[in-house]
Structure formats: structure tokens, C-alpha cells
């Protein structure tokens, strides 16, 4: 079980106030915007806040947004690739 993806789904539901949706009902590769979960532009800003708040990642280029936030899986891939390494 990918704990990052599980955690991300819970964080997305909490951050975006999706009270009518259960985290486990969000598909790993389900589109988050337009179709799929149907998120909007304000939700996109909240996801940027989520990356900073929970993973200390700032989106380097705004143009990368659509790719990074396409699905929970693309978000998880971006986090793994960009999360700051904590010193031991």
C-alpha cells in the first residue's frame, strides 16, 4: 500500500472541504480537474498550499501545475522527486 497516496487523498479531502467524498473513493489516476473530481481554480490554489504546508514544496513553475495536479499519482510522483531531504 502506497502510504503517500493514501495520505494525499485524506489531505485533499480535508484541505478542499470535500465532505461528500471519501478518500478511498478517489482513484489514484483519476483526473482531479474538469472531469473526475471536478475541482476548480480555487481548489488548485489550495493544492499548492497543501504541497507547501505538508511537504515543504513550492511549485517551481506555474506552467507545471496542470501536469503536477493532474491526478493523485502525479502529485505523489512530484512530491517524491522534489521533497527536501531532511538531515539525519
Partner 1 sequence: MLQENNYITASCEISNHIIYKNKEAVFENKNASLADFLISAYNHFDLKYPKFYKMDFLSKLGWLASEILLKDSFQHANYKSEEIGIVLANSNSSLDTDLKYFESTKDFASPSLFVYTLPNIVMGEICIKNKFKGENAFFIQETFDANFVQQYVNNLLNNNILQACICGWVDVLHENYEALLFLIEKDEKNNPIPFTGENMV
Would you count residue 35 as binding partner 1 (CB under 8 A)? no
Would you count residue 45 as binding partner 1 (CB under 8 A)? yes
- From residue 25, alpha-carbon distances to 38, 68, 78 in Å are 14, 20, 22
Contact (Cβ atoms closer than 8 angstroms) between residue 28 and residue 6: no
How far is the C-alpha of 31 from the C-alpha of 67, rounded, in Å? 11
The residue count for binding partner 1 (CB under 8 A) is 12
Among 16, 26, 72, 79, binds partner 1 (CB under 8 A): 16
Give me the residues that bind partner 1 (CB under 8 A), please: 16-20, 42-43, 45-46, 49, 52-53
Amino acid at each position: 500500500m502506497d502510504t503517500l497516496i493514501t495520505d494525499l487523498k485524506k489531505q485533499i479531502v480535508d484541505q478542499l472541504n470535500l465532505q461528500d467524498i471519501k478518500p478511498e473513493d478517489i482513484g489514484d489516476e483519476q483526473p482531479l480537474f474538469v472531469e473526475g473530481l471536478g475541482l476548480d481554480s480555487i481548489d488548485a490554489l489550495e493544492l499548492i498550499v497543501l504541497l507547501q504546508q505538508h511537504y515543504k514544496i513550492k511549485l517551481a513553475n506555474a506552467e507545471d501545475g496542470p501536469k503536477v495536479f493532474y491526478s493523485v499519482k502525479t502529485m505523489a510522483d512530484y512530491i517524491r522527486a522534489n521533497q527536501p531531504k531532511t538531515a539525519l
